[in-house]
Every structure is written in C-alpha cells, then in structure tokens.
C-alpha cells in the first residue's frame, strides 16, 4: 500500500498580548531549510539571583511561526489544509494544540466565541472537507464525527444528545478496549453521521455546549481535560469492493503548566512537574519515541496516549501547534512548551493508505465456500442436508426431550446423534420450557401483594413532591429578597457616591468594607452537609433541566432577568444579534435579487423559443428561401442569458457563504446564552447555599 513517511510537523503560534501585559523579549527569524527560528531571551531581572551559568538566550526551530497578528484563515491554510488533504486521500491525520492555559489552544482549534472570523480549525476544516467531497463525484463518501473529552483518566461522550448533563459524570462514560491485534476501540463513544457542513457544525456545537454545561468551577474541566474532535471519512468508488477509511483527530490538550519543584528555591527554568498527569505520560511516550532502538513505548499508561497512539509514532500524518503566551511572567512556561515541541519534532510517523475489502464481497465468497462444504458433506454422509429440520424430526425430538425430562434416573441421557441442528433445537426448546414455568410462578406471587401497596405509595410520593416544592419556593423567596436588598443598596450607594463625589473623595475608602462584612459567614460541618443536600436539591429544580426549559418558576424568571441585565456577555449577545439582523436582511435582499434574475433568465429563454417558432413558421411558408441559420437577435439574447446566469451564480455563491455565516452566528448567540444560563444556575445555587449556611 502507499505510504507517507515523515516527521511530525511542529508549528508555533504566539498569542497577542493583553492590554496590561508586559512583553517578554523574543524574536522570530526565517531560518535556513525553510524552517523558522524563535529566540527567547530571559531578562536579567528574572535570571538574577539564580545560578550564574544559566543561559540567557534560547533558540527553537519550527516549521513556521505565527506571530501575534496572524489571523485564523492563514493558520488554517498553512497548518490544517494540508492535513485535511491527506485525510481526504485516505490517510489518518492529527492536529494537536499544546501550551499552557490561556495561551490560545481552544482559540486555535475551535475558535473564539464572539466573531465569525475567529472561527478556528475545526469549523474551517469541516467546511473545507465538505466542499471537497461535494466536488468529487467519482466516489461515494460517508462522514461521521465523534467528540470525546478525557478528564481524570475517564472518557466522556460530548455528543450525548439528551441535554441532561449538568455534570461531566452525567455524560456517557467511554472506555478503552484493545483487540488481539492491539487496535484501540472506544466503547460507548457515539459516531454521529453528518451529511453536510451544517449537520457537522450542529454536532460540534452540541459537544461544545455539553462541554461548557458540564464544567463546574470546581473541576475546571477546560484546563484539566483533553478534548478530541474526530472526523471519520469512508469512501468507495461505485462498483469497487475496496473501501478507504480515514480519521482526522483535532485535539485540544489540557493546559501544560507545571509547578516548579518547591524547596529548591529559584530553579525557575529547570525540571518542573506537570499539573496534569496524563501530559507527563504523553511526554514519556515522546521521549521513548525519540530514543533509537527503543522497543517498548508506554502508550498504555494513560487514556489519552492510548487514544492518540497511532498519531504518535504510528499510522498518521501528525501536526503539533505549540501555543505561546509571551508576556514576561510566562517566559518560563513558553520555554517549556518549546522544548516539548523540539522533542515532538523528532518523531517519525508512517502513514499508510487505509484500504479494506468490502464486507459484502466477503459474504458472497463465504457463502460460496459454505455451499461447497455442504456438497462435500452430502457426498460423504450420503444424505442431503438442508438447514431446516423436517416436521417429523421436530416431533421426534420433542418426544425425546419429554421422556428425558420426566426420567428420574440420574444416569439418563438425551442422545440425538451428531447433528448440530438437532442439538441446537433441543437446547432452545428446553430454554423455552424453563422460561415459561418461571413466568407463571411469578405471576401467581405478585397478584396477591401489589394492589393495596399502590395507594399508600401514591400518597407518600405526592406529599414528598409538595414538600420539595415548598422548599424550592422558600429558597426562591429568600434569594429574591436578597437581590432586592442589593438592588436597593446599589441605588443608595450610587446616591451616596454622587454625594461623596461632590463632598470630596476621602469617604470612598469606607465603602468596600461594608461589602466585606457581608460576605463573612461561619461554616461548620453540619451546615456544610446541609449545603450539600441543598445543592443536590437545587440541581434538580425543574428550571435547571433544559428539557423542561419553558417551565421556569416566576420568581426564578424574575431573578434571571436581573442577572441577564448585569451579565457581561449580554453585550456580546446584543452585538451578534445586531449583526445577525443585518445579515438576515442582506440574505433576504439577495434572495429577492436571485428571484428577479431567475425570472429574467426565464423570460429571455421564452423570447428565444418564440424566435425559433417564428423561423420555423417562415421556413414552412417559404420553403424555397434559404434558411438563415444565424440570427443576430437570438445570438444577442443568448449572450444576455449567459451574463445573467453568471450574475445569478455569483449571487447564489454569496448567499451560500452568507447562510454558513448566519448559522454560525446563531450558534454563537446560542452558546453564549447557554453559558449565561449556566452561570445563573451556579450563582443561584450558591445563593441558596449561602442562605442555608447563614
Ligand atoms: P487555552 O485554551 O489555551 O486555555 P484560550 O484559547 O481559551 O486558551 O485563549 C485564552 C483567551 O485568549 C481567550 O479569551 C481567547 O479568545 C484569547 N485568544 C487566544 N488566542 C488568541 C488570538 N490568536 N487572537 C485573539 N485572541 C486570542
Ligand atoms: Mg482551552
């Protein structure tokens, strides 16, 4: 089979500095062999006080370095497009982002949450792949996607459509299985079919939403977990028995930050430990792969290295993006990230074309073989065997079974001869007999007891429900009262500030202390437990589960409205809504123009037909006259049609692009809205706990 042998390609991307961040010193050069060079200088004030022989300048080589101003489309074109092309050609591909929390991994892989132009590698790759598939009519393609999150060595299926997860643990658990050929299979990870870009984007959105919803402030899943979005493509030429299958993993790894070993004082740039254990195992795998003659590679140590096994030193075209945050305080982490990248660049992969034979063809071959064996058997035994037993034979077997069952002699035997069909029949018949007798036993038992119990249970449940409801409403009232107090206080504060401002600024410093006192709350063990119980009950409030989203209680709705008004994200929502409106009206306008254009084309076509009729009529009435085949008027009409068609095509394409953008914007709005709701729920339950503790 065809094979591509090459090293893992390693790129770097530098995140733009924040407004208040102080830049570290670094420079980017085009080096020789089309590689780029990144130099990082450790400034004196950081190196000072540490060991004297410390190097101050660090050099790293990358395939290419994307500096702060690099845009998403450029990153996609140079990093992801080549990999997507390999995957379309039938090879496996992986792109993974590695870097400390906040360095831009998610931004690069998935995209920013606000602007359409900020969409990252996943949506752009989906768009590119479906575009290419549409263009290629020589093959039949099938596309599936899956989305896996690994947190604390447990895998979770992010494409769970039930929308029930309010914790990661509510998602279906994914486990690893290894077959005898040491291939990895993921049990419970759903593969969802996506027939076009829109369906695939909806699935991505579903996964990202589950990811956000399932994240609690406590587990910080987004910095501690790995997310793997996989596009599975299979293709077949019509009539051929060969199927090509390929996978593209797009991986957002956990934050690579490390804790310096404590107690040694000042070993800033020396060995430090990962916070995330599975990244430690990833590093071990990579070190082992870089060593020559190393036969054992410790893939099995963690779930992530098992899943990415082929992507690391195996059958895959692999690309790494090192994301760097080069503000002064993060220089040491940036150097760690670059060092890791240099080691990854040493890994050699061998991607082979993944081809297999169509199982249907296999079935046809096996059927033929079975027929031949049957013929042979008939020759040897001298009797023709069909797969069915005759009615007579069945009756005889029933009789034998009956005798066998009734015979009390422990030595009795059921002998039906060396015929698999008969043996199988006996087993299934006896199973039937046994199940039948069990069921009738149970029925007798249960008829007596069930009736009176039911009514008691009903009353008890009703009571419990009412009590729970009462408790919920109680909580709501308290939270609302608190909110009201705060609103009132805000108004007063505003008034106070106004007065203070005119009186002089000295009074200001007294204000914050008031707030501080309010927060202090004693907590003891028993109230903590109560708080936990309360969380539990709060988590099950009806408004929290999205399936009954419409039934938020009145008090809770009120609180949500106020919360929304004060939430920072509501500006983003509004902005995007405005943009959406604009795009909608643009789309509508385009739609109308398209209609006009189509009408015009039809009209022109009509005119041509009429012209042709006229000419035909003329030819019939004056057969002697030579037919003039070239009609300048008709020719003019034709060029007009061509022109109009071109215009139509341009507008149509623009509308298509617009549609994708509109859908994406809708998803963004929806995502932010979900996040806000989630924030509200967290706030609400915290409020409830605070009340309880007090
Ligand atoms: P990570 O996933 O590595 O923790 P994020 O992708 O969440 O980091 O990035 C942190 C913040 O920086 C986000 O608000 C993100 O939008 C922003 N950001 C990251 N990279 C860029 C970039 N290249 N351009 C603009 N903003 C970026
Ligand atoms: Mg992230």
pLDDT in tens, 239-274: 777 899 999 999 999 999 987 544 344 444 445 678
The Cα 35–Cα 21 span in angstroms is 29
Identify the burial level of 388 via C-beta atoms within 10 angstroms of its C-beta, where 0-12 means exposed, 13-18 middle and 19 or more buried.
exposed
Q: Where are the domains of the chain?
A: 3-45+52-356, 358-407, 556-625+644-692
Give CA separation, 262 vs 54, 273, 278, in Å. Answer: 19, 10, 21
Identify the burial level of 416 via C-beta atoms within 10 angstroms of its C-beta, where 0-12 means exposed, 13-18 middle and 19 or more buried.
middle
User: Does the predicted TM-score (pTM) go above 0.95?
Assistant: no
Q: Whose alpha carbon is nearest atom 20 of ligand 1? A: 104
Structure tokens that stand for 217 in this block: 């402030």
Q: Rounded to 5 degrees, what are φ and ψ at 260?
A: -65, 145
Pocket of ligand 1 (CB under 6 A): 15-16, 99, 101-107, 112, 255, 323
Band of the pLDDT at 485, cuts 50, 70, 90? confident
Are the C-beta atoms of 4 and 86 separated by less than 8 Å? yes
**Element (H or E) spanning 587, and its range?**
helix 569-621
Chain segment 526-565, per-residue pLDDT in tens: 444 443 443 343 333 333 334 334 456 777 777 888 888 7
CB atoms within 10 A of CB 438: 10
Q: Whose alpha carbon is nearest atom 25 of ligand 1? A: 16
The Cα 476–Cα 685 span in angstroms is 10
Q: Whose alpha carbon is nearest atom 9 of ligand 1? A: 104
pLDDT at position 433 is: 83
Contacts of 656 (CB under 8 A, 6+ apart): none
105 CA → ligand 2 middle, Å: 6
Q: In a mutational test of the pocket of ligand 1, which residue from 20, 102, 276, 675 has the highest number of ligand atoms less than 8 Å from its CB?
A: 102
Higher pLDDT, 380 or 26: 26
Beta strand spans in 241-346 (E): 242-252, 258-260, 272-274, 317-324
**Element (H or E) spanning 358, and its range?**
none
Structure tokens that stand for 540 in this block: 């099950």
Q: Of 42, 12, 137, 167, which is closest to residue 678 (Cα–Cα)? A: 167
Indicate whether 574 pLDDT > 70: yes
Band of the pLDDT at 15, cuts 50, 70, 90? very high
Q: Locate the ligand 1 atom nearest the alpha carbon of residue 18 and give its number.
A: 12
Beta strands at 3-7 and 9-14: parallel, antiparallel or unpaired = unpaired
Cα angle 416-419-424, degrees, rounded to a multiple of 5: 80
Band of the pLDDT at 146, cuts 50, 70, 90? very high
Structure tokens that stand for 294 in this block: 């190393």
Contacts of 559 (CB under 8 A, 6+ apart): 476, 479, 480, 483, 680, 684
Q: Locate the ligand 1 atom nearest the alpha carbon of residue 109 and give its number.
A: 6
| CATH superfamily ID and name for 3-45+52-356 | Kinesin motor domain (3.40.850.10)
Q: Which residue has the tokens 């009590």?
A: 467
CA 8 to the chain's CA centroid: 24
Contacts of 345 (CB under 8 A, 6+ apart): 7, 8, 9, 10, 61
The Cα 479–Cα 687 span in angstroms is 7
Higher pLDDT, 46 or 291: 291
Q: Is 249 left (phi over 0), alpha (psi -120 to 50) or beta?
A: beta
**Is 101 part of any known ligand binding site?**
yes
How many CA atoms are closer than 13 Å to the CA of 658, on its beta-carbon side? Answer: 19
pLDDT at position 270 is: 47
Are the C-beta atoms of 278 and 304 separated by less than 8 Å? yes
Higher pLDDT, 519 or 581: 581
The Cα 224–Cα 228 span in angstroms is 13
């Amino acid at each position: 089979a065809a094979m591509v042998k090459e090293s893992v390609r390693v790129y770097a991307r530098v995140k733009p500095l924040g407004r208040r961040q102080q830049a570290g010193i670094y420079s980017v050069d085009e080096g020789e062999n089309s590689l780029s060079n990144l130099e990082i200088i450790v400034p004196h004030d950081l190196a000072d006080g540490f060991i004297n022989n410390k190097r101050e300048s660090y050099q790293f080589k990358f395939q290419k370095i994307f500096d702060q101003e690099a845009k998403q489309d450029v990153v996609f074109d140079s990093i992801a497009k080549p990999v997507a092309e390999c995957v379309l050609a039938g090879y496996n591909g992986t792109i993974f982002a590695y870097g400390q929390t906040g360095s831009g991994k998610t931004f690069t892989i998935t995209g920013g949450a606000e602007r359409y132009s900020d969409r990252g590698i996943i949506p752009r790759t989906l768009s590119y792949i479906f575009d290419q598939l549409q263009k290629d009519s020589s093959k039949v393609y099938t596309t599936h996607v899956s989305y896996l999150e690994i947190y604390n060595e447990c895998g979770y299926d992010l494409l769970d459509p039930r929308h029930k997860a309010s914790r990661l643990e509510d998602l279906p658990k994914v486990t690893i299985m290894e077959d005898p050929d040491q291939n990895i299979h993921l049990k419970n990870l759903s593969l969802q079919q996506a027939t076009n870009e829109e369906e695939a984007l909806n699935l991505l959105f579903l996964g990202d939403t589950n990811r956000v919803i399932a994240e609690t402030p406590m587990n910080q899943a987004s910095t501690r977990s790995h997310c793997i979005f996989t596009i599975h493509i299979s293709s077949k030429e019509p009539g051929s028995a060969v199927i090509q299958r390929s996978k593209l993993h797009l991986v957002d790894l956990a934050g690579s930050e490390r804790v310096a070993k404590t107690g040694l004082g000042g070993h800033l740039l020396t060995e430090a430990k990962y916070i995330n254990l599975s990244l430690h195992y990833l590093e071990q795998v990579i070190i082992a792969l870089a060593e020559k003659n190393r036969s054992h590679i410790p893939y099995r140590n963690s779930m992530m290295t098992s899943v990415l096994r082929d992507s690391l030193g195996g059958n895959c075209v692999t690309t790494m993006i090192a994301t760097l945050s080069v503000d002064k305080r993060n220089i040491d982490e940036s150097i760690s990230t670059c060092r890791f990248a240099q080691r990854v660049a040493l890994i050699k992969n061998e991607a082979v074309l993944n081809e297999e034979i169509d199982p249907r063809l296999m079935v046809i071959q096996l059927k033929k073989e079975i027929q031949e064996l049957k013929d042979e058997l008939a020759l040897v035994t001298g009797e023709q065997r069909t797969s069915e037993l005759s009615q007579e034979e069945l009756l005889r077997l029933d009789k034998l079974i009956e005798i066998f069952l009734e015979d009390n002699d422990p030595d009795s035997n059921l002998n039906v001869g060396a015929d698999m069909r008969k043996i199988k029949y006996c087993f299934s018949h006896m199973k039937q007999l046994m199940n039948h007798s069990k069921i009738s036993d149970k029925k007798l038992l249960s008829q007596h007891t069930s009736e009176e119990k039911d009514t008691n249970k009903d009353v008890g449940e009703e009571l419990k429900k009412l009590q729970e409801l009462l408790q919920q409403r109680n909580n709501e009232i308290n939270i609302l009262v608190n909110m009201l107090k705060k609103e009132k206080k805000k108004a007063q504060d505003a008034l106070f500030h106004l007065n203070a401002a005119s009186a002089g600024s000295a009074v200001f410093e007294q204000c914050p202390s008031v707030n501080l006192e309010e927060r202090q709350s004693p907590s003891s063990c028993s109230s903590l437990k109560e708080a936990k119980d309360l969380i539990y009950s709060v988590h099950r409030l009806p408004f929290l589960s999205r399936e009954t989203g419409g039934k938020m209680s009145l008090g809770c709705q009120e609180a949500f409205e106020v919360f929304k008004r004060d939430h920072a994200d509501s500006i983003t929502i509004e902005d995007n809504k405005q943009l959406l409106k604009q795009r909608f009206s643009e789309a509508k306008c385009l739609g109308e123009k398209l209609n006009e254009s189509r009408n015009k084309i039809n009209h022109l076509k009509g005119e041509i037909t009429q012209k042709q009729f006229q000419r035909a009529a003329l030819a019939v009435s004056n057969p002697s006259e030579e037919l003039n085949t070239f009609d300048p008027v008709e020719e003019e009409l034709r060029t007009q049609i061509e022109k109009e068609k071109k215009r139509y095509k341009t507008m149509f394409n623009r509308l298509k692009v617009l549609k994708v953008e509109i859908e994406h914007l809708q998803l963004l709005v929806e995502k932010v809205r979900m996040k806000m709701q989630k924030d509200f729920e967290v706030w609400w339950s915290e409020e409830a706990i605070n009340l309880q503790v007090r």
